[in-house]
Amino acid sequence: MGIKGFKVDFMDRDDQTAIEMVERLAACTAKHHLILDLHGIYKPVGLNRTYPNILNYESVFGMEECRWTEAKNDMPLYDVTFPYIRMMAGQVDFTPGAMRNGTRDNWKAIYTKPISMGTRCHQAACYIVQDSPFTMLADTPTNYEADEPYTRYIASLPVVFDKTIVPQGEIGKYIVTARKKGNDWYVGGQSNWDERTLTLKFDFLTDGDYEAIVLKDGINANHDAENYKIEKSVINQKSEMKIHLASGGGFVIKVIKK
């Protein structure tokens, strides 16, 4: 396969020396047709417009923090806050996809076997809510192999889109994002630690029928954050769908044109 690019980490500063180094990295990788993923970096400031081979900037309290952070650093709250603020500056390198998931009551930091705060479906929704053209499955391969239906579902999600809308949400409480790719749509939603039931409308769809493949919190997700279910239905632009988000929950809907 060869080398496709570099993920560079631990700049951890935004003085002139660091900024000049990042520009040299961007120019060099662009010259050799390589991608660049900037981790441990300041927020996007427009350099990726000059060098579109820069696919991601971290500059976010990402998934890795669950290895050593404290429960007071409320990640479900953060996940429904920064898309309204930080993500306005550009894409993020959040590294989602945790397969060990904890509720508000049973989460704890374990460095060698990290656990995400919130449900497994909350993690899945990161792939839609967050703008991340070079995202990843950040957990260990064996954890994904142990749950093939879930892994197959999230691995099928696009990472770049033609159109994005946010049909509903409230900063610090919840967010619903819908993204279009070709004739299909992908809808993702996340909640803070408050469970809630949302009514989704699909008036952004064009005429015709679509298959909705829903990945959502299972009935026991408030107690077992890894509990989920997958359902299918046929919808159109006049359809409405009620969907329940567990505490720290989430959902993804693949809306495929029939």
pTM for the structure as a whole: 0.96
What is the percent of the chain where pLDDT is above 90? 99
Query: Are 144 and 194 within one domain?
Result: yes
Domain edge (last residue) among 33, 59, 85? 59
**DSSP three-state, residue 98:** coil
| Alpha-carbon distances, residue 110 vs 67, 97, 134, 158 (angstroms) | 6, 16, 26, 31
Same domain, 55 and 67: no
* Domain of residue 131, residue span: 60-258
Are 35 and 78 part of one and the same domain?
no
115 & 149 share domain? yes
| Residues near 239 by beta carbon (within 8 Å), at least 6 away in sequence | 201, 202
The residue assigned the tokens 């081979």 is 53
Return the HEC string of 3-67. CCEEEECCCCCCCHHHHHHHHHHHHHHHHCCCEEEECCCCCCCCHHHHCCCEEEECCCCCHHHHH
The pLDDT score that the predictor gives to residue 2 is 86
pLDDT of residue 55: 97
Q: Which residues are catalytic?
A: 9, 64
Are 258 and 153 within one domain? yes
* Domain total in the chain: 2
Positive or negative, the CA dihedral 209, 211, 216, 220 is positive
The DSSP output letter for 252 is E
pLDDT in tens, 104-153: 999 999 999 999 999 999 999 999 999 999 999 999 999 999 999 999 99
156 and 96 part of one domain:
yes
Query: Which CATH number is 120's domain given?
Result: 3.20.20.70
The mean per-residue pLDDT over the stretch 176-191 comes to: 99
> Tokens standing for 199?
């009514």
Cβ count within 10 A of residue 8: 16
pLDDT digits (tens, 9 = 90+) for 54-80: 999 999 999 999 999 999 999 999 999
Q: Is the domain of 234 the same as that of 173?
A: yes
Domain boundary pick from 59, 75, 107: 59
**55 and 164 co-located in one domain:** no
User: What's the DSSP call for residue 135?
Assistant: -
Q: Are residues 48 and 69 in the same domain?
A: no
How many Å apart are CA 187 and CA 136, to the nearest integer?
Answer: 18
Pairing of strands 240-245, 196-201: antiparallel
Average pLDDT over all residues of the chain = 97
pLDDT (tens digit, 9 = 90+) per residue, 186-237? Answer: 999 999 999 999 999 999 999 999 999 999 999 999 999 999 999 999 999 9
Report how far residue 111's alpha carbon sits from residue 126's, in angstroms, rounded to the nearest whole number.
22
pLDDT at 1 over 70: no
Are 159 and 134 contacting, i.e. CB atoms less than 8 angstroms apart? yes
**Are 96 and 137 contained in the same domain?**
yes
- Mean pLDDT, residues 84-93 taken together: 97
Q: Are residues 41 and 69 in the same domain?
A: no
Same domain flag for 74 and 29: no
Q: Which of 44, 59, 74 is the last residue of a domain?
A: 59
